[in-house]
Structures are given as structure tokens and as C-alpha cells.
Structure 1
Amino acid sequence: MKSPRFTIGLCVAWIFVSVVSADTKAVVSVVQKESQNHDRTDQSGDVQPTKIFKPEKHWKKVQPDEAIPKGLHVRINMQTGEKEAKLLDETENSADSRKLTPEQLKVYVKNVKNEADKLKETDTSQFRDMDTIRKEFEELDLKPVKSDSHTIQELLSMFRSESSSSGDRMQQLKEMEYLLHQYDVAKDFVKMGGIRELLVSLNDSHIRDNAALALGAALQGNPEVQRAALASQGIHSLLVSLNEGCSSHCVLALSALLRQFPKAQTAFLSEGGPQILSKTFRDSGSNEKTKVKIITLLGDLLVEGHHAKSGKEGDVLRSAYSKVILGPSVVDAGFCELISASLSSRNEDVREKVLNALHSLIDYCKFDLLVPQLESLRIHYKTRMFEDDPKQADEYFETLYKLTDDLVKHITDESHQHMEL
């Protein structure tokens, strides 16, 4: 039977003995069994660490090639002879445990160098020389991308071809319309003689609407195209087409040609434009779309001329607009009555356009008979203003309310002044 002293000594041998380093405050083992792995050793025969030991909260075996970071509990398992380590308790951890030891730095530097060597070899293999790349592009036989101006030139050439049917030309006009919304493409189209081609096409009833749409796209906000169209008798061509039944699309093209162009507006008046628009308005019947376009055009032109004559645009522009006597011509064409009749529309958008046109015509037309209808609309819009929110007025209906209110006040004031006279 073994003595109690022997038993106690054996137990002590199983217990790990540790000390706290004075300079690092890290817990390290005082006993370390020599590793059996001799694959990587330095001149002293010790295994050189190549990796950093990743600690956990429980005891974990330390491999011979692993460097132990600072701030860990380390022990030697007396039964297996293996080195084990674990994380310190939170109360024992400190800022020093986050610092790298010289041993750790040595491992990091070595690993970085190895990774850099691998990356260099990999990247080099991925590159191709310029000759190879050039050859591959030649094999692809890539064709240069055509510009929109080049495309519309090809479309115009096909459009002019005698072999193109009406269906072909209609499709070509649709494609040209899409491209002509671009400012520079429209300018290039002028140089190709395309505007003259579109004006001539207005004579063909089969493609007239599509030609008018393409013409309107090119004219919109483009002074160079406007001048070219006017020089090619564009006002005359469009008015003739309107007289022959081309309604909505021709009004659109005419509107794009007249806006911000007093010289074209003068030609419009000399060609009897208001009378032809009046006929188109009456012939449109229940087609509100065409009527609204005509009402909007005339109202906008009157406002434009008024601003130019009374504003600070310059003497040249003021002189040009002084030759445009649009108001009396609109009255003579019967638009005071025609526009007033449109006020009965149930469409709020149509009524908005009509109210704006009435404002622009108020100095030329007598709207006394409209007062009861306008007062009714004023009440209607005042109600709609607070329909959704009793505390916050709806901006759209508030605008319409103010339009009707201004009209009623202006008409009644004018009537009162005439009665006094």
C-alpha cells in the first residue's frame, strides 16, 4: 500500500504550475515538453511557429507550429505531455493582451510574404499581352456604332426611294419622329433636306398624320428648324392640310412652328390662319383633344405677345411682336363664342385650358353672358378645395377657383364701367 505522502506528490505532479511574467503580465507554463515534430526546426532544434494559436474559453491543445499570443493561461497536461492553453477570465484580461509579441510578428511577416508570392504568380498568369488582345478584337469583326444622324440619313434615303410602299414610308416616319426629338439630329435633318420632304408628304393623305408628327418633333423648341420650315412655306402647307382634314397632329406641328417665332405668327395671320383654325374647331365635333390644342395654342400666343410687347425683351423683339395683331383676328374668327361654349365640358383639364384662354381674350371679347356659369364654377371649386382636407386647400382646385374668381370680378367690373358711361 502506497503512503499518503506518495499519493499527494502524484496529485501535485498532475497540477499545472504557472507564473505571471512581470513584463507582459501573461500567464505561461513553466514546464514545456519537447515536441516530437522535427519537420521545421531552427539551428537549436526547436520547431519554428508558422501559425497563431486561436484560443477559446476551454483548454485547447497547442500545436508545435503554433505561436501562443500573450495573455493566455498555458499548462502542460502531465498525463499526455501536451501543451494546452485557453483565454484568460475577463477580469484578468488587459490592454496588454492585444499587443503582438515578437514571435507573433515573425509569423505574420512570414505569412504575408508567402501570400504576396502566390498573388504575384496568380496575377501574372491572368494578364494578356496587347498583341493577343488586338488579335481577338480583329476576330470579332466589330462594326462601328452608327450615330443617330447617320441612322436618320439612311431612313430618309429609304423614305425617298420609289420602291418604298406607303406602309414602309409610314414606318420610316415613325422611326424618324423618335430621332427628331433630339435637338442636334433635327438640325442635321435640315441640312439633309428632310424638312422639305416632310412638308411635301403632308399632301399624301395616307402618311399625312405621321409626317405631321415627325415635323412637330423636329420643330419643337428648335429655332433653326423653325426658320427652315418657314422658308419652305411650312405655314402654308400646314394650313392647307388642316383645311383638308388633318386635325390634331397638324395643329401640333403648327403650334411648334409658331411658338416664340413672331415672323411665323405674322405669316400665319396673313395666310388666314385663325379662320382655318376656327373651321377645324367646328369640324372636330366631339373631338375635345383637337379643340383643347387649338384653345391652348391661341391662348398661349396671346399671352406670349402681350409679355413681349410690355416686357424687357428688347426693342428688336418688341418691334417684331408689334406686327402680330392676333387678338382682333381671333375675335373675327368667332373664337369668343367657340371657347365660351367649351366651358360646359365636364373634363376639369379642358375647363382649366378654357379658363386660361378666357383670361387671355378678356380684353377682346364680351363675356357678360358667362358670369352665371363662372359663378357656379367658382362655388364648385371652392367646395372642391377642401373636399379631402377641411384644413388644407387643394392646390389644383385653389388655382381654378382663383381663375374663375378673377374672371367674374373682371367681367362685372367692366360691365359696371360701361353702364356708368
Structure 2
Amino acid sequence: MIPQSLSPFRIAPFGMLLGLLMAFCFTFCLSRQNPNEFALTNLEKSSTKEPEKKEAKAEEEMDAKDLEVFQPTHEWQALRPGQAVPAGSHVRLNLQTGAREVKLQYEDKFQSNLKRLKKGKRLDINTNTYTSQDLKSALAKFKEGAQTESSKEDEMDNAQDLLSFGGLQVVINGLNSTEPLVKEYAAFVLGAAFSSNPKVQVEAIEGGALQKLLVILATEQPPTAKKKVLFALCSLLRHFPYAQQQFLKLGGLQVLKGLVQEKNMEVLAVRVVTLLYDLVTEKMFAEEEAELTQDVSPEKLQQYRQVHLLPGLREQGWCEITAHLLALPEHDAREKVLQTLGALLATCRDHYRQDPQLSRTLASLQAEYQALATLELQEGEDEGYFRELLGSIDSLLRELR
């Protein structure tokens, strides 16, 4: 429940509030985190940590065109053609130069409200002032100062602040917004907040975030929104076996299957395959660590053992889906698909052997990467990228004989 001190949130527009919460999450993501605070964060192997970091970084780099918002001050400044003006700005035409000029006609409330929020005070929100355009303005402003802010306040636990003020549930509810931009930014904020933060992940599951994310992925939405929602889903599921159980119970594999089969969704299809690879190997690493070091608590190990992912993948036809994605033209996409094919080999071996298209694709790729690996050797690269891909293909072919 949202604390009584924040009751204005119930009627406030999501535009203003999400702008503030994005600031919270930016500083939170950039703050130092204690990797030993939760046992689940220690399960991550180096082989899976780097892709997750790259994905999170890529998601946090919002499109430049979304940030082309003029930042007014209390002084008149010239406005360039095509620049958007935040709501509440004062605009005039300079008759001498012919240029439009802009300045603030009221105090910048984004920063003042952020300070009030951090101090636990009631926010000063005008329900008629802020629009979705303010989200872009706030994003640009806070992204510029996030690094400085986080370095000054390393001791502040941003995740706990987000939870204690009830802000997480507000953002989760933002997924229900009828405004696509608000829905997209809400998913982005959630994805950033979930990453490596079990307490936030638990609160999100209890707040119904998983169901809302799956509904968006299963319905007709803009591709940009689905991209951010998939990012949030990946962050919620990783290193959280209970969420993975609920994901399977809610038909998550079927939802992702529909997503990868949509037209022009190749990029998201590769991300889905990467997620499945991470979840399969994550469970495997948990089992291995439990046997070798007994570092995993019995309760968490039992949770992982209740995640019946591989049987679900086989039943839902993911053996064939993953194999056919190997035909994608990008080397990076092929690399991720090859990794997933290897992870699913024990479950999908029979399907792979009976798939003539997969056999033809592997033979074609073997010839292609043999030639590229030869060029690498000629250039003095003994352990080149294409040689590694060729090794993965050769290994898979041997397993399928």
C-alpha cells in the first residue's frame, strides 16, 4: 500500500511522478551496490554477467531523438527549430531577431519535488501542469546529473527509498496507462530497478508486475514499448527462481513464443533466446554451486528445482523455434542462438537430429566460418571471433551425429 503521506499520488498524473521516479532509478542504478547483501546475487557466473550488463546498459541509453527537449532557465534563450518545449514554459517572439525565445515562468518543480521526496515530505504536484513531454525533459536533466548525484550520496539506499515511499507500486500501475509513452517509461524504470535487487523483485511480484508485463507483451503494442517491457521482464526473472515459477504458471513461454513469431521482431527474438539461455544456465550453476561449495541456501535451491523450464521449452516447441533462428544474418545473433542450442541440447537432441533445415543451416555456416577463420589466421589472430563460432558449430555437429 502507498503510505498515507503520499496520498496525492492517487490522483497525480503519471507524467510528473514517473519523471521523478526515473531520477530515483537512474541514481539507484549508478550507485554502488553490495554484491554480498543477497545470496542470489552471488549465483551469477562471469559467462552470464557480461551479457546482462550490456543489455542493461543498452536499454538505459534512450534514443537521442527522445531527449531533444529544450531545457529552459529563468533567462530568455533562443529556441532552435524542432525543439520541444516543456509544459509551463513561457515563449515569446523576438521581433528584432525573429527567433522564438523561451524561459521558465515558474520554479522548476522537478528538482524541488525530488528533494522533497527524498526527505519524506509531501510532494507539491499540480495535476494540470505536467504532461508526458515532461518525462523526456526530466530524463534528459536527471541523466546529465545522475553521476554527480550518485557520487555524493553513495550511502543513500535508493532502492529502499523507492520501496518505502510506495513509488514502486505507482510505477507498476503505470504499465496500465493508456498513454504509450508513459507505459514505455514505466517499463524502463522497472527494468532498471529490478536489476540485481531481490527486495525490489519480491515487491514487484507481490505488486502484480509480472502479470502486467506479460499482458503488454501478449497484446498489440508499439515495438519500442515491447522492447522496454521485455527488458523489465528479463530483469525481474534473472536470479529470482520464484518469479520464474510464476512466469511458467502464467504461460510466459507461450507469450514469448508469440512475440518471437511476430513480423519484424528479430531483435527481440534474439533477446528472448538469450533470456532462455540465461535461465537454463542459471539453474545449472545453482545446482553446481550447491554441490561444490554449499553456498546456496536449501530454500533457494529447492525453488530452483521447482522451475521446470526445460520440459516447458520442449512442450512449447522452443527446440524448433531456436533452431530456425540460427538463420538470422548477424554474427552476434548467431552466436547467441548457438549458445542456446548448446544449452538445450540434452532436451532437444532428437528434435535437432530430425530437423533437415537445421542440418543444412549448420553445414552452410560451417563453410562460411571456416573461410572467415582462415582469414583470421592469415592476419595473425590465432583465437579469433570467427574461429570461436566455428568451434561451436563443429561441436554441435559432433553431438548430433
| Bigger mean CA deviation after superposition, 338-347 or 184-193 | 184-193
Q: Residue 341 and residue 224 in structure 1: after superposition, are their counterparts in 2 closer, same or farther (change >3 A)?
A: same
Paired with 1:405 and 1:148, the residues of 2 have a C-alpha distance of 59
TM-score, reference length from structure 1: 0.57
- The match for 1:198 is 171
- Cα drift, residue 172 of structure 1: 4.3
> Given the alignment of the two structures, is residue 239 of structure 1 paired with residue 214 of structure 2, yes or no?
yes
- The match for 1:367 is 352
- The match for 1:209 is 184
Q: Which runs of 5+ in 1 are unaligned?
A: 1-145, 413-421
Paired with 2:126 and 2:247, the residues of 1 have a C-alpha distance of 29
Deviation readout 1:267-296 (Å, 9 max, x if unpaired):
11111111111111112x123221111111
- Cα drift, residue 226 of structure 1: 1.1
- The match for 2:370 is 382
- The match for 2:388 is 399
- The match for 2:258 is 279
Whether the 8 Å contact between 1:274 and 1:333 is mirrored in structure 2 is: yes
- The match for 2:204 is 229
What aligned pairs does 1:22-421 form with structure 2 within 5 A after superposition?
A: 150=115, 153=118, 157=123, 161=127, 163-169=129-135, 171-172=137-138, 184-204=157-177, 205-206=179-180, 207-244=182-219, 245=221, 246-283=225-262, 285-312=263-290, 313-314=295-296, 315-365=298-348, 366-368=351-353, 369=355, 370-390=358-378, 391-412=380-401
Which amino acid in 1 is paired with 2:237?
Answer: L
TM-score, reference length from structure 2: 0.60
- Cα drift, residue 189 of structure 1: 1.3
RMSD: 3.1
Percent of pairs identical after alignment?
A: 29
SS of aligned partner of 2:375: coil
Deviation readout 1:281-332 (Å, 9 max, x if unpaired):
112x123221111111011101111222343243333211000001121223
Paired with 2:368 and 2:341, the residues of 1 have a C-alpha distance of 18
Whether the 8 Å contact between 2:116 and 2:123 is mirrored in structure 1 is: no
- Cα drift, residue 210 of structure 1: 1.2
Paired with 2:218 and 2:387, the residues of 1 have a C-alpha distance of 39
- The match for 2:45 is none
Q: Which runs of 5+ in 2 are unaligned?
A: 1-110
- Cα drift, residue 380 of structure 1: 2.1
Deviation readout 1:78-128 (Å, 9 max, x if unpaired):
xxxxxxxxxxxxxxxxxxxxxxxxxxxxxxxxxxxxxxxxxxxxxxxxxxx
Paired with 1:318 and 1:377, the residues of 2 have a C-alpha distance of 39
- The match for 1:25 is none
Q: Residue 226 and residue 383 in structure 1: after superposition, are their counterparts in 2 closer, same or farther (change >3 A)?
A: same
Whether the 8 Å contact between 2:187 and 2:232 is mirrored in structure 1 is: yes
Paired with 1:160 and 1:255, the residues of 2 have a C-alpha distance of 35
Q: Residue 309 and residue 215 in structure 1: after superposition, are their counterparts in 2 closer, same or farther (change >3 A)?
A: same
Q: Residue 401 and residue 157 in structure 1: after superposition, are their counterparts in 2 closer, same or farther (change >3 A)?
A: farther
Which amino acid in 2 is paired with 1:150?
Answer: K
Paired with 1:395 and 1:379, the residues of 2 have a C-alpha distance of 16
Structure whose alpha-carbon radius of gyration is higher: 1
Paired with 1:397 and 1:148, the residues of 2 have a C-alpha distance of 52
- Cα drift, residue 157 of structure 1: 4.6
Paired with 1:377 and 1:147, the residues of 2 have a C-alpha distance of 58
Paired with 2:343 and 2:235, the residues of 1 have a C-alpha distance of 20
Paired with 1:393 and 1:199, the residues of 2 have a C-alpha distance of 49
Q: How many residue pairs were aligned?
A: 266
Which amino acid in 1 is paired with 2:195?
Answer: Q
Structure ranking higher on relative contact order (CA contacts 8 Å, 6+ apart): 2
Q: Residue 398 and residue 377 in structure 1: after superposition, are their counterparts in 2 closer, same or farther (change >3 A)?
A: same
Q: Residue 403 and residue 281 in structure 1: after superposition, are their counterparts in 2 closer, same or farther (change >3 A)?
A: same
Whether the 8 Å contact between 1:238 and 1:250 is mirrored in structure 2 is: yes
- Cα drift, residue 160 of structure 1: 9.0
Paired with 1:402 and 1:147, the residues of 2 have a C-alpha distance of 57
Whether the 8 Å contact between 1:386 and 1:392 is mirrored in structure 2 is: no
SS of aligned partner of 1:247: helix
Q: Residue 396 and residue 324 in structure 1: after superposition, are their counterparts in 2 closer, same or farther (change >3 A)?
A: same
Which amino acid in 2 is paired with 1:279?
Answer: G
- Cα drift, residue 410 of structure 1: 1.2
Whether the 8 Å contact between 2:259 and 2:265 is mirrored in structure 1 is: no
Whether the 8 Å contact between 1:190 and 1:225 is mirrored in structure 2 is: yes
Q: Residue 291 and residue 175 in structure 1: after superposition, are their counterparts in 2 closer, same or farther (change >3 A)?
A: farther
Paired with 1:176 and 1:237, the residues of 2 have a C-alpha distance of 27
Which amino acid in 2 is paired with 1:377?
Answer: L
